[in-house]
């Protein structure tokens, strides 16, 4: 390691003066030095977990004496503000710290969350100052910049006394709330938000804590936690602390975001900015589907999120971006609306229209009235024409992907995003199969290239099912079903629908050349029949 020092005069790192704290009178309801009144299982508290990123890389550039001073300064930065604001150390490592800000039931207004968030901001501020001094050293050239990430969560955990020394009580903390605070630190690093707080902690922090962006974190148990970016402090009424102090804290949080972009990402946690996730509603292909409410207001939407653990993530992301670019320009009543594409931490998503009425499948429990079936057929064909005009082939057209609006208008959804076609038959125990290739064109069954005429074939299968209440082909295995698509004759409609047989024959022709060349041509044929 290099023998150069931070300060040439004595070859030791000399810490700078800590950032000033606002007078603790602001927290008069709970003195900063007070030990929690109750340390039983199930303690309500605010937990702060902070970590200095690229700590080891910085250490590799230092000699022994310099390293000792640096490690001690990091230790001081991690603990000073927390201890001054009444926090207690539950775990301390060279580059990280877990602190507990306990809730005192006797307080008129609980201040544990406010103190924790204040400590988080001050800790980031001091880390940014340290990062500047470390980066200014010649031997630091090419070394990733120091940055800090902090997670703050208000919750219940087991907090018990462990030891006491002259300066503070040391506690042991364990439980879900502690793990969430640790997870929020990871989110802060992934999102470059400096300080990430759970919504509960932010709300309990009061009006003096400023918040920025909002998002929803997917937890391992498939539940969701709303999270908020902490961006600064607002002076209390009558404060004598200079306004420049608060501006300096805000600037440090912004600077830390810039520094953190050099930190290693890839934790794989799903975090969606700007949306409150309501529930998971599906999964398939390369994406997971969520029902979500924009924080900014407006209608409930569906988020199709590219999974962080997607094996071929680069190719998947390229398709995601490419398809959105095509779909975003489509404004057609028979095509599901695409609101936006977003990138949030390690996740990419597309926000789409939500259809609370359900899909066409729900209307197909039996043969439809011919007028209704043709009404839907024309709408689907019109939607296909719109997407075909921009070069999109749906590839998976089926009743489940035709959505219903409350006014009776149908819209094609799930196009061009998850292109995989399920080839597995799953017996439901009632003679019905789900996820089967009932709607595949012969060329799809043979693994050949497809174009718009493939969707025309699939629409023919849907039309037959709407008119008759049954699928045109059935088989015991997926392979046998595929063979029927390739070689079986086009099914015959009941005599009452005889005039539509020529249309179905062309839609479901085995050779794509025998089909309608476009959905527009199909619509012309239906109009010529008066259908």
Active site residues: 396
- The answer to whether 497 touches 394, Cβ cutoff 8 Å, is no
Rg of the chain over all Cα atoms, to the nearest angstrom = 31
Tokens of residue 71, six digits: 């490690």
Cα distance between residue 140 and residue 147, in whole Å: 14
- SS3 per-residue string spanning 249-313: HHHHHHHHHHHHCCCCCCCCCEEEECEEEEEEEEEECCEEEEEEEECCCCCCEEEEEECCCCCCH
Strand 195-198 and strand 147-164: the pairing is: parallel
- The answer to whether 174 touches 130, Cβ cutoff 8 Å, is no
Tokens of residue 123, six digits: 């800790």
Cα distance between residue 97 and residue 47, in whole Å: 10
Torsion angle in degrees (nearest 10) through CA of 191, 193, 197, 198: -30
- The answer to whether 353 touches 339, Cβ cutoff 8 Å, is yes
**Cβ-based neighbour number of residue 229 at 10 Å:** 23
- Residue 386 contacts by C-beta under 8 Å, 6 or more apart in sequence? 330, 332, 334, 335
Tokens of residue 280, six digits: 């998971």
Within 13 Å and on the Cβ side, how many CA atoms surround 407? 4
Which position has the token pair 């699928």? 471
């Amino acid at each position: 390691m290099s023998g150069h020092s931070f300060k040439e005069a004595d070859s030791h790192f000399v810490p700078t003066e800590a950032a000033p704290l606002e007078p603790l009178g602001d927290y008069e309801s709970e003195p900063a030095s007070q030990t929690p009144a109750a340390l039983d299982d199930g303690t309500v508290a605010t937990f702060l977990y902070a970590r200095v990123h690229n700590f080891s890389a910085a250490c590799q550039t230092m000699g022994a004496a310099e390293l000792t001073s640096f490690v001690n300064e990091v230790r001081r930065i991690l603990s000073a503000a927390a201890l001054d604001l009444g926090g207690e150390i539950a775990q301390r490592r060279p580059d990280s710290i877990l602190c507990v800000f306990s809730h005192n039931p006797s307080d008129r207004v609980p201040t544990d969350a406010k103190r924790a968030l204040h400590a988080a901001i001050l800790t980031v501020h001091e880390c940014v100052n340290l990062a500047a001094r470390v980066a200014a050293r010649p031997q630091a050239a090419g070394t990733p910049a120091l940055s800090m990430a902090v997670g703050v969560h208000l919750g219940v955990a087991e907090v018990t006394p462990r030891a006491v020394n002259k300066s503070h009580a040391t506690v042991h903390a364990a439980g879900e709330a502690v793990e969430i605070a640790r997870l929020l630190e990871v989110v802060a690093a992934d999102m470059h938000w400096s300080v990430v707080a759970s919504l509960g902690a932010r709300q309990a922090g009061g009006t003096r804590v400023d918040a920025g962006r909002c998002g929803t974190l997917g937890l391992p148990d498939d539940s969701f936690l709303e999270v908020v970016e902490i961006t600064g402090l607002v002076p209390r009424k009558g404060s004598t602390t200079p306004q420049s102090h608060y501006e300096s804290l805000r600037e440090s949080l912004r600077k830390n975001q810039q520094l953190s972009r050099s930190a290693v990402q890839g934790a794989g946690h799903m975090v969606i900015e700007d949306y409150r996730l309501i529930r998971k509603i599906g999964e398939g292909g390369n994406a997971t589907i969520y029902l979500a409410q924009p924080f900014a207001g407006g209608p409930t939407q569906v988020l199709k999120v590219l999974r962080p653990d997607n094996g071929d993530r680069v190719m998947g992301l390229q398709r995601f971006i490419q398809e959105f670019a095509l779909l975003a320009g489509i404004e057609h009543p028979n095509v599901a609306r695409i609101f936006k594409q977003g990138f949030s931490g390690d996740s990419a998503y597309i926000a789409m229209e939500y259809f609370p009425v359900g899909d066409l499948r729900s209307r197909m429990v039996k043969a439809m009235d011919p007028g209704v079936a043709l009404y839907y057929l024309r709408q689907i064909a019109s939607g296909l024409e719109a997407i075909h005009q921009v070069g999109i082939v749906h590839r998976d057209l089926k009743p489940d992907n035709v959505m219903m609006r409350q006014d009776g208008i149908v819209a094609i959804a799930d196009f061009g995003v998850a292109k995989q076609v399920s080839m597995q038959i799953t017996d439901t125990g009632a003679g019905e199969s789900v996820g089967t290739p009932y709607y595949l064109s012969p060329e799809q069954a043979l693994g050949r290239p497809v174009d718009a005429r493939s969707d025309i074939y699939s629409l023919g299968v849907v039309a037959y099912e709407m008119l008759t209440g049954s699928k045109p082909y059935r088989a015991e295995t997926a392979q046998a079903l595929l063979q029927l698509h390739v070689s079986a004759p086009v099914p015959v409609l009941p005599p009452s629908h005889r005039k539509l047989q020529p249309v179905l024959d062309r839609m479901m022709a085995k050779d794509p050349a025998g089909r309608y060349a476009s959905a527009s041509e199909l619509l012309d044929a239906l109009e010529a029949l008066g259908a």
